[in-house]
A and B are shown apart, each in its own frame.
Chain A
């Protein structure tokens, strides 16, 4: 290894720390008695935090591509690195509530770290082959995590997820093959040059296939069917991880593809992604309307959120507003979505909205934080997602997709219906109800029967922190954007 490669390897320090955390955690877990596996959790969290710090210090560096252009390190990668690492750390803490003392506790943390690593690789991939490898690395740990509990719902979820993933993986590889056939290259920069002159059918198959694979990881329509089943089949903590972290990388990967190699392709990839975005937000919202189960509701809400994220992907090559919009929305989405799942995890026994409200009935602050988080998902100011939505709408309009902006605005209103159902139940219904239903006989017609009226401490803390972070990221958007995106 010569000096140059050493420097290149150093540029991957955040990823290396994640990898070291995964391997080190696995080894440590092997030599640790089962009762004390909490120390593996500490290693995992430390690795995530270390990775985030390393990524943050590398953020101001100019953009570069290392290892012969296969691994791109720029602002997008940097923000995804930080967000993924922090989100994984929080998810590990969240998960500890349900997997602590579990025979395979160490494995859970290690799998989460590996999936995070794969996600960062997805975001950084500047080469189709690396994209495939990253896809696999980001997928396989999640299949195992989805079925971690080994119960009926979890097994079904894992199987569905795996089948869907295998199918999308094949499509992705088919697409990559087609692109290689059409252009004879796999690197994004050379692909961008060769693709406009390539045979149109091959290019079309290639673009479609690759986008299908990425859309699967992002959980976008039409390959979103795994999302509700997996989300409802696992614990809330795992669901938080699966619906947050891989999406970050997948959206960033799609953004990179659209910004460079597919920008001038003979098929209108931009329009294709715009249609995917429109379908995702609309179908996600429509499906969420009738959900009474909190996890399924959130699952469809993540599908619709991907729609908004794909809006900015669609205009990736068309406006300079796209990169800031992507980073803001990604960070805001990660914080808000984890917060929403933490709210579910705070009342682990509750499955439906009425169960949930009954379980937290006497915790007004919990409801306040939930309201902040859910209004954040709607995109109400001054939360982080609002700033993200503002930036995304501006970018999409600037990229000559006004119809998409109007549709997104309509969808935002539609999303109110189901978020408000939860908000109203939490804020209005329950705080008025306890004197009547809570204190009375437990045999009443209310949903409280059989639900343990207990909230978990750690998820509650995560929920509050996420709510505060959502507000801080929104109100302080100028400050952190100035750091993340020096003009």
Chain B
């Protein structure tokens, strides 16, 4: 029951927002912050009461806060939700990132009421996907996140937002339909004809038909790979990120990408263990290619936001490397494979926090100068020291510096995967070097040197006395200033907590490991069947 409240509380708040047209914009955002805060508090309470237990709880039986109601009995699809060590960290991450976005958006002036309602709707959809223990329920929430994010990008984006939103919708919708086809395959392949994930994981369908199992895994893997996104299905990501509003990007990268990787560890691995073992090397290769491709393409970007977007492809590649290694049963022992799985889940949480912070910081750049181009900025450490410090922490965390959460995650992925796939792991470590290089380069360009700040259009109008007088000057060289306003209160209050959490997870990993490890061990055992 508590879990149901957690999932639907944001939706109720969204309904209240829509039903109260007289509510002012600021009040709407405050209500959004309040609803998100209450929701996060409830998740924290769930975490507090959560007992991971010694047995492999959750994946095959007895998840916490379980609710199981019939929904469509003819196909045995139900409203089955629950929490285990895999979903709890992601539920908490969802709460944190959405609250950060709410605080960040306190000064949103463009139709704030619909904006808040849309994000609350997205929060319900994301929480529902992570809590779902039924394939159809999972799909329902999964699809609703696409719809919500489409409107966020199309309605509040900048640049070529409509086109990017359409591209995002089409790509991820293709993926979700492939996913649906795969789910139907699981349904028809099982002996008991059910969409219930727990029942399917307990008695895997298609165990004796490698071809059918492989095809179903292809469909599911394709759907999740588009969402994750893995090379070569990642092409929607940079566009969607570049044109989305900052909070939308933070949610898209921080939460929605996790739906894909979470689907691998929650659905593909326990329910299709046979096929996952057989094709684990494909996952490893896809992961490593994504790592390298993401890193090298990010290195070549001149646009801050596109660069961060490509590093997401890189980071999600590590997750797949870990999960793929967990499927290589013959060359690796259980311990190593568990470490790889734990690392993958850890990476999901870590990436959510750090990339969320990075995108919000890039949103600060946009609000000051209406451009993401790296060349237009420089020497920001002097006028905006807090911004510079936050960006540095987020970037170092993202490149995997020890002491921050990204290090714990990537270290475990490499440790766990080395035994099973040595070549792939060594190649992936190269990706770390490239990422380090590109982040340092970006920090150097943005923070050091002479202070260069582009003037936004409003500022330019205010400063120029004669409109036509400045025309010749701007034609050759964009006008710049040497002042930039540092982080404001709401920006500080949204970005710093994300970074603090990343540091906490980097210094005290047991907080999260205690929850994740039993579940990861359970998944590894299930895969080894």
Which residues of A does B touch, CB under 8 Å?
321, 324, 364, 368, 375, 380-382, 386-387, 390-391, 393-394, 397-398, 405-406, 409-410, 412-413, 416-417, 420, 424, 427-428, 431-432, 477-478, 481-482, 485, 487
Q: Is the CB of A394 within 8 A of B188?
A: yes
**Contacting residue for B170 out of A386, A393, A413, CB 8 A:** A413
Q: Which 3 A-B pairs have the closest CB atoms?
A: A381-B140, A409-B177, A324-B74
- Give Cα distance in the complex from A447 to B30, angstroms: 37
**B176: shortest Cβ distance to chain A, in Å?**
9
- Give Cα distance in the complex from A420 to B170, angstroms: 10
Q: Is the CB of A391 within 8 A of B136?
A: no
Q: Is the CB of A420 within 8 A of B111?
A: no
Which of B84-92, B143-151, B389-397, B408-416 participates in binding chain A? B143-151
- Give Cα distance in the complex from A384 to B480, angstroms: 55
Chain A residues near B147 (CB, 8 Å)?
Answer: 375, 380
B476 part of interface (Cβ distance < 8 Å): no
Give per-residue flags for B42-85: 1 if the beta carbon is below 8 A from chain A beta carbons, else 0. Answer: 00000000000000000000000000001111110100000000
**Contacting residue for A413 out of B71, B174, B185, B188, CB 8 A:** B174
- Give Cα distance in the complex from A485 to B74, angstroms: 9
Of residues 151 to 174 in B, which have CB atoms within 8 Å of A's CB atoms?
A: 151, 154-155, 162, 165-166, 169-170, 173-174
- Give Cα distance in the complex from A387 to B136, angstroms: 9
Chain B residues near A406 (CB, 8 Å)?
Answer: 181
Which residue of B74, B136, B139, B174 has the most chain A CB atoms within 10 A of its CB atom?
A: B74
**Contacting residue for B71 out of A478, A485, A487, CB 8 A:** A478
**A258: shortest Cβ distance to chain B, in Å?**
20
- Give Cα distance in the complex from A427 to B143, angstroms: 18
- Give Cα distance in the complex from A147 to B45, angstroms: 65
Q: Is the CB of A431 within 8 A of B111?
A: yes
Enumerate 8 A-B pairs (CB-CB under 8 Å) in ascending A order: A324-B74, A364-B114, A393-B180, A406-B181, A412-B177, A428-B162, A431-B111, A432-B155
**A220: shortest Cβ distance to chain B, in Å?**
23
**B19: shortest Cβ distance to chain A, in Å?**
10
Q: Is the CB of B154 within 8 A of A428?
A: yes
Tell me the nearest residue of chain A to B178, going by C-beta.
A409
Chain B residues near A485 (CB, 8 Å)?
Answer: 74
Chain B residues near A380 (CB, 8 Å)?
Answer: 143-144, 147
**A484: shortest Cβ distance to chain B, in Å?**
10
Chain B residues near A391 (CB, 8 Å)?
Answer: 74-75
Q: Is the CB of A382 within 8 A of B74?
A: no
**Contacting residue for B185 out of A368, A381, A397, A409, CB 8 A:** A397
- Give Cα distance in the complex from A481 to B72, angstroms: 7
- Give Cα distance in the complex from A416 to B73, angstroms: 29
Majority DSSP secondary structure for residues of B touching A: helix
**A2: shortest Cβ distance to chain B, in Å?**
40
Chain B residues near A487 (CB, 8 Å)?
Answer: 73-74
Q: Is the CB of B140 within 8 A of A405?
A: no
Tell me the nearest residue of chain A to B157, going by C-beta.
A428
Chain A residues near B170 (CB, 8 Å)?
Answer: 413, 416-417
Tell me the nearest residue of chain A to B111, going by C-beta.
A431
**B395: shortest Cβ distance to chain A, in Å?**
34
Q: Is the CB of B181 within 8 A of A394?
A: no
B184 part of interface (Cβ distance < 8 Å): yes
Chain A residues near B111 (CB, 8 Å)?
Answer: 431
**B469: shortest Cβ distance to chain A, in Å?**
28
Q: Is the CB of A394 within 8 A of B151?
A: no
**Contacting residue for B187 out of A386, A394, A478, A482, CB 8 A:** A394
Q: Is the CB of B75 within 8 A of A394?
A: yes
Q: Is the CB of B188 within 8 A of A390?
A: no
**A97: shortest Cβ distance to chain B, in Å?**
26
Chain A residues near B173 (CB, 8 Å)?
Answer: 413, 416
Q: Is the CB of B140 within 8 A of A393?
A: no
**Contacting residue for A478 out of B70, B144, B166, CB 8 A:** B70
- Give Cα distance in the complex from A427 to B117, angstroms: 14
Which residue of B71, B75, B77, B170 has the most chain A CB atoms within 10 A of its CB atom?
A: B75
- Give Cα distance in the complex from A233 to B170, angstroms: 32
Q: A424-B154, A427-B155 are in contact. Are A416 and B187 (CB under 8 A)?
A: no
Q: Is the CB of B181 within 8 A of A409?
A: yes
Q: A394-B184, A420-B166, A428-B154 are in contact. Are A413 and B177 (CB under 8 A)?
A: yes
- Give Cα distance in the complex from A387 to B180, angstroms: 12
Q: Is the CB of B139 within 8 A of A387?
A: no
- Give Cα distance in the complex from A424 to B157, angstroms: 13
- Give Cα distance in the complex from A413 to B147, angstroms: 13
Of residues 209 to 243 in B, which have CB atoms within 8 Å of A's CB atoms?
A: none
Chain B residues near A324 (CB, 8 Å)?
Answer: 74-75
- Give Cα distance in the complex from A382 to B136, angstroms: 10
Q: Is the CB of A405 within 8 A of B181?
A: yes
Chain B residues near A412 (CB, 8 Å)?
Answer: 177
Beyond the given pairs A386-B140, A413-B174, A420-B169, 9 more chain A to chain B contacts, judged by CB atoms under 8 angstroms and listed by A's residue number, are A324-B74, A324-B75, A394-B184, A394-B188, A412-B177, A416-B169, A428-B154, A431-B111, A432-B155
Chain B residues near A424 (CB, 8 Å)?
Answer: 154, 162, 165-166
Chain A residues near B166 (CB, 8 Å)?
Answer: 420, 424
Chain A residues near B178 (CB, 8 Å)?
Answer: 409
Tell me the nearest residue of chain B to A327, going by C-beta.
B74
Q: Is the CB of B184 within 8 A of A393?
A: yes
Q: A391-B74, A413-B170, A478-B70 are in contact. Are A427 and B151 (CB under 8 A)?
A: yes
Q: Is the CB of A390 within 8 A of B136?
A: yes
**B36: shortest Cβ distance to chain A, in Å?**
22
Q: Is the CB of A477 within 8 A of B72?
A: yes
Of residues 414 to 434 in B, which have CB atoms within 8 Å of A's CB atoms?
A: none
Q: Is the CB of A478 within 8 A of B154?
A: no
Q: A390-B184, A413-B177 are in contact. Are A381 and B139 (CB under 8 A)?
A: yes
Q: Is the CB of B177 within 8 A of A390?
A: no
Give per-residue flags for B108-139: 1 if the beta carbon is below 8 A from chain A beta carbons, else 0. Answer: 00010010000000000000000000001001
- Give Cα distance in the complex from A412 to B174, angstroms: 9
- Give Cα distance in the complex from A299 to B196, angstroms: 38
- Give Cα distance in the complex from A368 to B136, angstroms: 24
Tell me the nearest residue of chain B to A393, going by C-beta.
B184
Tell me the nearest residue of chain B to A381, going by C-beta.
B140
- Give Cα distance in the complex from A291 to B162, angstroms: 19
- Give Cα distance in the complex from A381 to B147, angstroms: 10
Tell me the nearest residue of chain A to B71, going by C-beta.
A478
Q: Is the CB of A405 within 8 A of B184?
A: yes
Q: Is the CB of B73 within 8 A of A382?
A: no
**B211: shortest Cβ distance to chain A, in Å?**
12
Q: Is the CB of B70 within 8 A of A397?
A: no
**B128: shortest Cβ distance to chain A, in Å?**
10
- Give Cα distance in the complex from A321 to B77, angstroms: 14
**Contacting residue for B188 out of A386, A387, A398, CB 8 A:** A398
- Give Cα distance in the complex from A406 to B170, angstroms: 16
Chain A residues near B177 (CB, 8 Å)?
Answer: 409-410, 412-413
- Give Cα distance in the complex from A406 to B77, angstroms: 22
- Give Cα distance in the complex from A376 to B321, angstroms: 37
**A16: shortest Cβ distance to chain B, in Å?**
31
Q: A381-B139, A394-B187, A427-B151 are in contact. Are A478 and B174 (CB under 8 A)?
A: no
Chain A residues near B185 (CB, 8 Å)?
Answer: 397
- Give Cα distance in the complex from A382 to B77, angstroms: 13
- Give Cα distance in the complex from A390 to B183, angstroms: 10
- Give Cα distance in the complex from A398 to B181, angstroms: 12
Chain A residues near B174 (CB, 8 Å)?
Answer: 413
Chain B residues near A478 (CB, 8 Å)?
Answer: 70-73
- Give Cα distance in the complex from A324 to B140, angstroms: 20
- Give Cα distance in the complex from A203 to B373, angstroms: 71
- Give Cα distance in the complex from A375 to B176, angstroms: 14
Chain B residues near A416 (CB, 8 Å)?
Answer: 169-170, 173
Which residue of A321, A390, A398, A406 has the most chain B CB atoms within 10 A of its CB atom?
A: A390
